[in-house]
Amino acid sequence: MSQHLISLLLLVPLLAAFVVLFAPRQMVGFIRVFTVFAMLAEFGLSLGLLDGSYQTAAFQFPERHLLVPAYGITYSVGIDGISLWLVLLTTFITPLATYVSWTHIETKVKEYALSLLLLEAAMLGAFVSLDVFIFYVFWELMLVPMVLIIGIWGGAQRIYAAVKFFLFTMVGSVLMLVAILYLVAQYKAQTGHYSFELAELKLLLLPVHVQLWLFAAFALAFAIKVPMFPFHTWLPDAHVQAPTGGSVILAAVLLKLGTYGFLRFAMPLFPSGSHRMGPYIAGLAVTGIIYGAYCAWVQRDVKKLVAYSSVSHLGFVMLGIYSVTSQGLSGSILQMVNHGISTGALFLLVGVIYERRHTRNLDEFGGLAKVMPAYATVFVIVTMSSIGLPTTNGFVGEFMILAGAFMSDHLGANGPICAFFAATGVILAAVYMLHAVLKMFWGPITKPENEGLPDLTRREGIALLPLVLLIFYIGLFPGKMLGDMQASVDTFASEYTAKLAAGDQHPDARDILERKLVPAAALAPLGLPSGEKSARLDAPARTLPVQLVGGAQ
Amino acid sequence: MTAAAEGVFFLCAVLAVLSALGTVSLHSPIRAAMSLLTHILALSGLFLVLHAQLLAALQVLVYAGAVVVLFVFVIMMIGPAVPEPPVHRGFLIKVLSVGVMLLVTTVLMMSVLPVTLPTLSLGPCAPGAGAECAQFGGVAAFAQSLFMDALVPFELISVLLTVAIVGAIAVARGRTSEEAQVAEQKRNAADKALEERTLREKAMAAEVSAHGGH
Amino acid sequence: MQIEVGDYLALASIVFGIGAIGFLVRRNVLVQLMSIELMLNSVNLMLIAFNRYMPANHAGQLFAFFVIAVAAAEAAVGLAIVISLYRLRKTVHSDRADSLRH
Amino acid sequence: MHDPKLLLGIVLFPLLGAIVNGLFGRNASRQTVHFVAVASVAMSFAIAVVMFRELLLQHAAGEEHVSLSYTAYQWFSLTLRGRPLGIPVRFVMDALSGVMTLVVTGIGLLIHIYSTGYMSEEPSYARFFSYLNLFTASMLILVLGSSLPVMFVGWEGVGVCSYLLIGFWFENGAYAAAGRKAFVANRIGDFGVLMGMFLLASASGSFEFADINHFAHEHAAVLTSALSLGPTGSPYLVISSVSLATVATLFLFLGCTGKSAQIPLFVWLPDAMAGPTPVSALIHAATMVTSGIYLVCRLSPVFVLAPHTMAVIAVTGAVTALVAASVGLVQNDIKKILAYSTVSQLGFMFAAVGCGAFAAGFMHVYTHAFFKACLFLGAGSVMHAVGAHGDADTRTLGGLRKFMPHTRWTFLVSCMAIAGFPFFSGFFSKDEILVGALASSEYFTFAPWLGPTIFGMLFVGATMTAFYMFRLYFRTFSGEYRGGPHHEHHGDEHGHHDDHAEHHDPHESPVAMTSALIVLGIGAIFAGYVWVGLAHFEPWVLWLEPVLGTTHIEPAHNLSYVAAGFGLTACLFGWGTAYAWYFKGSETPARLAASFPRVHALLMAKWRIDELYDATILAGSRMLGVVASKFDMYVVDGLLTDLTSNCLKLSSYLFTRVQNGLVHAYGAVMAVGLLAVGAFFVVPHARPAVVGKPDGLTVSFEASRGLAYEYRWDFDGDGKYDTEWDFSPGAKHTFTKAELQRGYVAVLEGAGYGARAEHLRLSPGDKRELCEQDLGPSWQSADDSTLPIIAADGTGIVVQPNGARVRRVRKDGQDGQAQAPSAKVHVGRGEHVTIGDARLSVTGLVRPRLLVRNAFGLSRTRLLKLMLPEVEERVHAAVVSQLDPLGKLGKEGAGQ
């Protein structure tokens, strides 16, 4: 059973969705309970992933089934240090988000449960797939339930926000599709057979200017998703209009797919391209940090404030990724999980107050600490984690990212400069979060409606408790998580630098194939259909591979 | 080509062009029909010059006799003096289309004019050969090729004509009063439904374009 | 002066041009139908002219014969439509019949 | 020998206390709450004493570096220049942190006892004590932390606790805002500490204090040389003008100013008086504010290497002392005066540390903790007695000596201590600081005048300190009781009459409070003796010696007497004026204030620094925020979404205009379509192509087919058409040698990966230099300047290598023999030669031409450029088209 754990992980939500599909619409109670239990079962199952051996960088629980042999599309899934914690974050956050949203989702409960289950399956699929085609399918599949959640159960301008969210991501991913197809075509040209496997495509060495364009396409798709500075305008609208549950999942998991995409696909496939775009992306990330913080400071809508804070936090993550140092990378992966927890908790808290006062305007609140002490305490704890106070999870991530950026060989001279400006982000984070806390909690009670507000209910308490515990646990004992990531992060960094070096020295064009850069041995064990495969590498290269690879005839 | 034939050719050609112009430019439809009639007769003259005697006859019989009469009949039914409202909508499109068609016709004419083919003599029918003389263009020769080479198209044409007849009757049959009422109501209902849908669409579009809480 | 096939063709193209312009310019549906008849006649003339100069077989005339038949059928149906249009919209002005818009 | 695990206990007990009180305090009784709180701090104090005794034993046993350390667990790990660097949660108590722990736990305990009395009627009693315990725990982590990150945990922990405690009475919006202001100011400081931490780690390769100090001793040169970041071999950022130590210490000092309230970031301390008085005593007098000094002392070996930063520290300290003291002169509220006196005393400490007298600075921290805590608690008991809520205005007080003897005497003792009366603790530490200032002139080689100026400023500061302290004392305790605070500003006080009912005389504070006061008072007197070693203690300087860095300057012996003299005069002068003006009560202060109204107003308004900050930094960044959000809404959002959607709407609108239901419109469109199709057929197309691979010189061509097309070819390029009009598109021709002679082309295939073949067109006689980028890295000419030159002669290309490696490649592609670098090489047609990584081959150039004519008589020609032997299909679009409607051209058909 443990061998097919990942397929099982993908299957359970789909089965649950199947059951919910045929459950009668009136049995709302059953649907609510069943969905949450299905998700908890999924979480229990995903804990099984923890006992994979992550000391080596190899993919754990690998599964390979040829779907379309002619075009090398394989259902190839696996988990390594990088994707392990993101999968666990997904299976951890989704039940919480569902459990909380049952109080304010009254209409079309069945469809809501269905979309959430499908969303979870799609997200997990995207995290575990090692085949570019399968990844793209899950990447697109993920959009549909999210758009439904925002579009149907959202706020006043929900359709505008849903359409905007959909179009933004769609534009990016269509470009990525074109890049994928070109990449596979180049692979076919060079080795004679099609393959969408990430492991194989990684062996391909493309000329620098081609890598630049392909990387730009991938980077755009993921930058929109992250969201990075110029492409972030869909996030505040999507968050403001999404229901609490949807907003939590959107913040906690969907944004991480952008950064994960960089780590898993964009950078390993096109190291030279990513190296040349490195300084610009790092610059954009730092601008995102400061710009997001400033925007967040003047927002009057709490959800928009938290949305802009996400832009700022994910700027940190991108800076960490682009330092390509072991602590920068593991810091950014850790920060992805931390952001998921702290921003997820923040959205839950905003949902709590929204359910009571049906408004998110900061000026409406004041002196809540007197009326809702427990709520105030939790909010302050989560704020401290979001600011990055030591002993909370935020600090460890930010510290490692800043250390990584500061002493990174890849960022070179502008590493310390980026670290300097990113560190000011730490101050700005304190400014806008405490601004919100002051407006909401401290001070006298100005509005009569705030008088009789009930404090946290049992349901909300149960949802928030695990998050608060995790905030302190990761803050104090991050060793376990970092240990598991270490191997795959180091391999990522060394592979990236090695391939970068190989790509840069303009190896003598003529003997690319003589040196058999794409060793036949590496391809043989993958069990691809032998047939015309064996003949491909020794076919005499008619003209210089430069023409072959350089540009279309 | 005898001088007389050339004379007939020029006469018919001029007559054809003038009457064609007349059909197009005369305001009242009845006068246009009459100029169409003269055009068709001119053409049958030309056919005669081209030794297509059967077709000339057919032209007069079928075309002039049936089609133009049908036109006149319909014009009479509709009433000749239906005033054509001087609507100047789409003047630009008119100028554009006239310009384009003039260009096409001139290019066509200029390139076609210099084409020369050897004028072969047509085997004249021996004076005494009588009816079965297979003179080119005559009924026998034409019938020969019609019923030998083009039998299938001939049958298809008959099918076509019957379909045309049935179609014409179905379209133009008069409506009883209550049938007219029903059609009227259906049309009004359709119009109302159309208005409603456009209104809803407009509301949706307004909502989409209206931004989130800016 | 020998009459060449070119002259017939030129004549036919002129008549065709006039028919086309008539169809595009005139707003009266009946006149538009008549200009279509003009175009068809010009084609007939061209066919027969070519047949005359290549008298190996009667293909040209044969084709002209079928053109006439089709023209008749087309005129019949066209006029039927004109009658029903007139009955509905009390006009034969082609611009009035624009409810098939998008 | 006690197990060092107890070090963890010091930190854990207050932490547990905080958690217990935090979770279960609300419904527990007051006794249990303060028992838990006080017990936990007492426990950690006890352990601290035991541990300190251990250190003393080690010292007695002649240990050079006394220290106890305990590693709890591995927090997380980084890789620094390839080597994994773990960051353990490790607590170390050595001489320096030992003293600090004693101070924190000792004074903390007293303040906890004091606040059981002071906060007795406070409704959220448990919350206060849990915060206080949490603060003590974080302070202990800060002090005992063995590495910069662990210290940073404590550093920000105290920041958060001060935020919570200042804003303790959060119902009052102003207090909460003061809390936020404190936290943000601290956060700016933390930014400095972070950057300093990274700089030091990147240089020394570790975060541990011990390692950094060791590195500073061993490799001082690295730290003092130019700032260079990146791997040692190839640094990627080198700033020669400044040394790494200076930059790192400047950043760290920024952190200290944030935490210890020095010039740029001191604005939060006066507002922090909004918190309860015990908080002010513990945090804003004794412990937190001194953490800046602790950091500087802890990393003193590094600071010593950066004289420029030390100068900056000294000057900032001195200026802060002066400014704060000057403001203190005119303030009326007790806590405000004490706040400014704290800032001023901190200025003293930083001036001392800046001048290299780390021991003196640290001693002042030690003594200041005692008397300042005593003063604050005294002020607290005064307010408690008078019933003021944190704003006891000295103008309404007076004559309290009759009602509150204990508070009065302890307050007097502390005033004398802070003023520097001889044989009080303040005297000794201030004396040491003045000595340090004087001695620093040798240290500041680049500005020898700096030492004396700082001495002068400190002297003036000392006089002012003495003056305002005794002004405060006389106005509160001597003279007649002036009725206590009128509650007029309390709007919500219903009715005025009952105000007088409870207007009884102030009473002495309960025992819990006065006992703490007495202990602190005693400490204020005798704290100094430990230092000088009067009693059987041997002088503390030797004790701290191993830990602190030294500027290796032995102050001359007589300097201490000079300093003592000056200190004494400052104290007496200040006391005298205060005594004259306030004890006797005279109009001079009023007259003085009247004569300098603007100066008085300026001082009263605290040099308007708050307004300056609000106007510049706060308003500016808030404006930046507004601009950013507007920019985001209209430009980024507008550009990305609205612009594109509007374009789509516009284009769709245009297309719908065509479908307008008018028959003639559709007719027109059809007409245009007819025209286009017609044009396509009317205009002839000539697309010649080479069929298959030319073998040698015979090439077969194929022209594009078309309706009734006729073709003519001209192969030899002489302009005359060689073939007649013919309907078949194919043609075959064998080019002769003569035709090839006409043009030679050298085809240079660059070595660059992805570089395309380059065609250098050479007609016989001209020369061309090869470009470097194409020759690839393996080309090295003798003097790197002259590039190989190729020249065309009648039969081919002559290559002048200029030192480049030239190899002739034989026909079948095998490697030819290498040529001598200087010899000329002749390359004929079809031969290859490699220069460096590039490949040079020569091909003949032929330019056949095709003429096409169609049924309408229109014709078009197309030129084909062909290189033999390798056929390079390069169809040049030299289209010579004559769309000649009149078909004139077709007729003659003659060649142009």
Mean pLDDT of all residues in A387-404: 92
CB contact under 8 A, B207 and A237: no
Q: Do chains D and B touch (3 or more CB pairs under 8 A)?
A: yes
DSSP class of D238:
E
* Chain length of chain B: 214
Q: Does B207 touch chain A (CB under 8 A)?
A: yes
Residue B104: Cβ within 10 Å count: 19
Mutation target vs A (from B200, B204, B208; most A CBs, 10 A cutoff): B208
Q: Which residues from D are below 8 Å from C20, CB to CB?
A: 671
Which residue's structure tokens are 């967040």? A296
pLDDT at D473: 87
DSSP state string for A213-225:
HHHHHHHHHHHHH
Chain C partners (3+ C-beta pairs within 8 A)? B, D
Mutation target vs B (from D640, D646, D856; most B CBs, 10 A cutoff): D856
Cα maximum dimension of chain D: 135
Q: Does A300 touch chain D (CB under 8 A)?
A: no
pLDDT of residue B131 exceeding 70: no
Q: Average pLDDT for consecutive 10-residue bins of chain D (896 residues)? A: 78 92 85 90 92 85 82 86 84 88 91 88 88 93 92 93 90 89 91 91 88 87 77 73 87 91 86 87 84 90 88 91 89 88 91 86 87 89 77 77 84 88 83 84 81 89 90 84 57 37 65 86 82 60 73 72 85 86 77 82 83 86 90 86 88 82 81 86 81 75 83 80 84 74 62 56 72 62 65 73 68 57 69 70 76 80 72 32 34 38
pLDDT of residue A54 exceeding 90: no
Chain B partners (3+ C-beta pairs within 8 A)? A, C, D
Q: Which residues from D are below 8 Å from C28, CB to CB?
A: none
Of A164, A406, A434, the CB nearest to D198: A406
Query: What fold does the segment set B1-81 form as a domain?
Result: Four Helix Bundle (Hemerythrin (Met), subunit A) (1.20.120)
Shortest Cα distance from D663 to chain C (angstroms)? 7
Of B100, B111, B214, the CB nearest to D633: B214
Q: Are A172 and A223 in contact (CB under 8 A)?
A: yes
pLDDT at D884: 32
pLDDT of residue A541 exceeding 50: no
Q: Give the C-alpha separation, D806 to A552, whole Å.
A: 31
Beta-bridge partners for D749:
D757, D839
Of D633, D672, D886, the CB nearest to B100: D672
Non-local (6+) Cβ contacts of D108 within 8 A are D41, D45, D132, D136, D139, D282, D286, D287
Mutation target vs C (from D654, D662, D675; most C CBs, 10 A cutoff): D662
Domains of chain D: 307-487+505-604 (no CATH), 688-739+847-892 (2.60.40), 756-843 (2.60.200)
Q: Which residues from D are below 8 Å from A384, CB to CB?
A: 160
Reading the block at residue D730, the tokens are 């194919």
pLDDT tens sequence across A63-119:
999 988 888 899 999 999 899 999 999 999 999 999 999 988 888 899 999 999 999
Which residue's structure tokens are 């290309």? D797
A148-157, B177-186, D750-759, D814-823, range with the lowest pLDDT: D750-759
CB contact under 8 A, B207 and A301: no
Say whether domain C5-93 belongs to CATH 3.90.1150.180.
Answer: no
Q: Are D869 and D878 in contact (CB under 8 A)?
A: no
Shortest Cα distance from D677 to chain C (angstroms)? 16
Terminal C-alpha separation, chain C: 56
pLDDT of residue A540 exceeding 70: no
Q: Which residues from B are below 8 Å from C16, CB to CB?
A: 105, 108
pLDDT of residue A199 exceeding 90: no
pLDDT at D501: 35
DSSP state string for chain B:
--HHHHHHHHHHHHHHHHHHHHHHH-SSHHHHHHHHHHHHHHHHHHHHHTT-HHHHHHIIIIIIIIIIHHHHHHHHHH-TT-------TTHHHHHHHHHHHHHHHHHHHHHHTT-----PPP-PPPTT--TT---TTSHHHHHHHHHHHSHHHHHHHHHHHHHHHHHHHHHHPPPPHHHHHHHHHHHHHHHHHHHHHHHHHHHHHHHHHS-S--
Chain D partners (3+ C-beta pairs within 8 A)? A, B, C
Number of H helices, E strands in chain D: 32, 21
Beta-bridge partners for D868:
D844
Q: Which residues from C are below 8 Å from B142, CB to CB?
A: 58, 61-62, 65
Residues of chain C predicted below pLDDT 70: 1, 101-102
Q: Are A388 and A303 in contact (CB under 8 A)?
A: no
CB contact under 8 A, A159 and B207: yes
Reading the block at residue D275, the tokens are 């918190």
Of C38, C45, C51, the CB nearest to B23: C38
Q: Which residues from A are below 8 Å from D206, CB to CB?
A: none
Q: Which residues from B are below 8 Å from C4, CB to CB?
A: 115-117, 119
Mean pLDDT, chain B, integer: 83
CB contact under 8 A, D202 and A402: no
Domain boundaries, chain C: 5-93
CB contact under 8 A, C58 and B142: yes
DSSP state string for D677-697:
HHHHHHS-----EEEEEEETT
Q: Give the C-alpha separation, D492 to D508, whole Å.
A: 28
Q: Do chains C and B touch (3 or more CB pairs under 8 A)?
A: yes
Q: Give the C-alpha separation, B9 to B119, whole Å.
A: 16
CB contact under 8 A, B100 and D682: no
pLDDT at C17: 94
CB contact under 8 A, A443 and D176: yes
**Residue D832: φ, ψ to 5°:** -120, 155
Q: Give the C-alpha separation, A513 to A185, whole Å.
A: 17
pLDDT at A329: 93
pTM of the model: 0.78
pLDDT at D742: 58
pLDDT tens sequence across A122-131:
999 999 999 9
Shortest Cα distance from A461 to chain D (angstroms)? 15
D123 sits in the region (left: phi over 0; alpha: psi -120 to 50; else beta) called alpha
pLDDT of residue A249 exceeding 90: yes
